[in-house]
Amino acid sequence: MGKTALLFTGQGSQCSGMGKDFYESYPCAKQVYDKFNVVTGKSISELSFQGSDEDLRMTINAQPCILAMEIAAFEALKSQYDLHIDFAAGHSLGEYAALYVAGVINLEAAAGLINARANAMSKVNTGAMSAIIGLGEQELREVLKEASKKGYVDAANYNTPEQTVITGENDAVAAANELASRKGAKRVVPLAVSGAFHSKLMIDAAEEFEKFVIKAELSNAKFPVVTNVDALPTTKAEDFRVKMPEQIHSSVKWVQTLNYLKEHGVDNFIEIGPAKILSGMVRKTLKDVKISAISTKEDLEKVINDYKVEV
């Protein structure tokens, strides 16, 4: 086997009951939820295990619940198997799980930072986002340029070669949706979000969040985290301090991240998150790689058994 990268899912992957089997089966996972409950001042465990879909769609709840699940699942994995990790990356909020596993932030800092990030982002309730599927890069650029006559619109997430999420002001995103359909997009899917994430409309949120990041205790990474804002490997604490607020209003360069990992020897990916979303993105972007996903205790046991057979 070549190199291994851990990938962590972002917002939109949440579901009621996520993480419950880890909490009930592994003391180290329970400790993660106990810490999140204390630091955030609310029961992240109760929200995660019993919260309604409506509760969990709220940014202020979704972000800490997803991060707690991902860290709990990682700690459960670590308690059962000594996995060698070469790189980590996370999609949007998933990057905070990557920072945790790489030793950049400890558990208390992870809970505090994601709570502050969610609070700042939840205050932005303007703008829209849509997924554009099956439109070429050149055509998409033309769509964004034309739609920008109606207002601000930009690319938010480069998810796969076939799928890009756009973000911006309502009228401009609506115009881009119509233009994309006319130019031959296979599908245009408006997203149910509270605001235009990963756009300049989030700059105020980024500035508010930066106040927390400046005070946070950060360490150099034990192995590189390939960051969303530039798809480059990062290890220095002070570089993360700059990139963390910047990520809120910058595009998520996910295709570029996956390509970087493959080009640097990664042929084994393990996704950790409430839903198996990134696995599909890997399959649509890269060839000749192995991808596993951990959403449940059963998934975890299967991944460990597979590794024991291969090693």
Residues 171 and 88 in one domain: no
**Residue 309: its pLDDT value, please?**
61
Residue 37 parent element (H or E): helix 27-40
pTM of the model: 0.95
Residues 119 and 12 in one domain: yes
**Residue 256: its pLDDT value, please?**
97
Is residue 244 included in any domain, yes or no?
yes
Place of tokens 């996956």: 258
State the residue range of the domain holding 186: 128-190
Residues 280 and 178 in one domain: no
**Catalytic residue among 92, 199, 279, 295, which?**
92
Positive/negative CA dihedral, 229, 235, 238, 241: positive
Boundary (domain end) residue, out of 190, 217, 237: 190
**Catalytic residue among 13, 198, 199, 295, which?**
198
| Bridge partners (DSSP) listed for residue 291 | 269
Q: Are 88 and 234 within 8 A, CB to CB?
A: no
What are the average pLDDT values for consecutive 10-residue runs of the chain, which has 311 residues?
92 94 98 98 97 93 97 97 96 98 98 97 92 94 97 96 96 97 95 89 96 97 98 98 98 97 97 96 96 97 84 49
Dist CA 38 CA 35 (whole Å): 5
Q: Are 135 and 163 within 8 A, CB to CB?
A: no
Residues 112 and 133 in one domain: no
Residue 188 parent element (H or E): strand 187-190
**Residue 1: its pLDDT value, please?**
63
Is residue 195 included in any domain, yes or no?
no
End-to-end CA distance of the chain, in Å? Answer: 9
Three-class SS state of 279: helix
Residues 100 and 207 in one domain: yes
Dist CA 241 CA 246 (whole Å): 9
| Bridge partners (DSSP) listed for residue 168 | 128, 153
92 is catalytic: yes
The Cβ of residue 288 has, within 10 Å, a number of other Cβ atoms equal to: 6
User: Considering its fold, how many domains does the chain have in total?
Assistant: 2
